[in-house]
């Protein structure tokens, strides 16, 4: 079950965290993995891990917000069965404390970056007659998260794009779903805590962990396992859905 043998998968932001976990799991399932990543060293690290484990992977240096770069990379790959729109950046701030520069940066990466990959990949999937798209949204798309104005806005857009794409390409046999994680323990989380709460790292980590009713943060590998199901043939009847992966945050936090 859940084999991706002979399938070509593009994973944006596959150099670290959730994207890297998805890339590794997909390669183990038999996919040829293409890592789209702004950081070439991080992308190559993921590729090396996959190849050392006997898998197939290629790194592609790409700025998700630059449409021409994105188009060039996808055209070079040529044939795509699976697209995972994972690349994204975070931001802390409210509407009146978010600068125009930061707002534009979030839009460029988290919204335009997703659009750019959709714009480039869908014609290749239509040509093949099928495809699977998975977007990384967030609980912030549907739940009010303090101090996350721009980030929440961008993930709301990702959620909306998921529904739109799922509807528009039914006749082309292209499925589109999204995953909405709560806090997942990645290197980004550790860096964020160290930068903003120096000297209180353990205390803040514990507080953030316990904000999920299940009592801990998620693991990148747990997101990757759900991604594998949604991108496999076993999920062939699933499209236009958003999956909470949140330790009970949305439904049980009351």
CA–CA dist 101, 229 (Å, integer): 38
- Rounded to 5 degrees, φ, ψ at 8 are -105, 125
Show the beta-strand stretches assigned E in 2-89: 8-12, 32-37, 56-61, 82-85
Return phi, psi of residue 247, to 5°. Answer: 60, 25
Tokens of 48: 């090396």
Structure tokens at 149: 């104005």
Assess whether 151 carries a catalytic annotation: yes
Q: What does the block give as tokens for 227?
A: 């991604």
Angle at 169 between CA 164 and CA 170, to 5 degrees: 105
Question: Cα–Cα distance between 175 and 165 in angstroms, integer?
Answer: 8
Among residues 74, 115, 151, 243, the one annotated as catalytic is: 151
Residue numbers annotated as active site: 151
């Amino acid at each position: 079950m859940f084999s991706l043998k002979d399938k070509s998968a593009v994973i944006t932001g596959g150099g670290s965290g959730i994207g890297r976990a998805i890339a590794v799991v997909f390669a183990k399932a038999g996919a040829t993995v293409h890592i789209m990543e702004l950081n070439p060293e991080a992308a190559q690290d993921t590729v090396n891990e996959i190849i050392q484990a006997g898998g197939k992977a290629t790194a592609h240096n790409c700025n998700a917000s630059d449409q021409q770069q994105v188009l060039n990379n996808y055209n070079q790959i040529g044939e795509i069965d699976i697209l995972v729109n994972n690349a994204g950046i975070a931001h802390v701030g409210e509407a009146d404390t978010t600068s125009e520069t930061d707002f534009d940066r979030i839009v460029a990466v988290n919204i335009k970056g997703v659009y750019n990959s959709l714009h480039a990949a869908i014609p290749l999937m239509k040509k093949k007659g099928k495809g699977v798209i998975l977007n990384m949204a967030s609980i912030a798309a549907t739940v009010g998260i303090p101090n996350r104005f721009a980030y929440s806005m961008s993930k709301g857009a990702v959620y909306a794009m998921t529904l739109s794409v799922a509807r528009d390409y039914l006749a082309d046999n292209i499925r589109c779903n999204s995953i909405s994680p709560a806090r997942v323990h990645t290197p980004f989380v550790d860096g964020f805590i160290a930068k903003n709460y120096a000297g209180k790292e353990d205390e803040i980590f514990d507080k953030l962990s316990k904000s999920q009713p299940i009592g801990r943060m998620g693991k990148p590998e747990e997101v990757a396992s759900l991604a594998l199901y949604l991108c496999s043939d076993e999920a062939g009847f699933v499209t236009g859905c958003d999956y909470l992966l949140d330790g009970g945050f949305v439904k049980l936090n009351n």
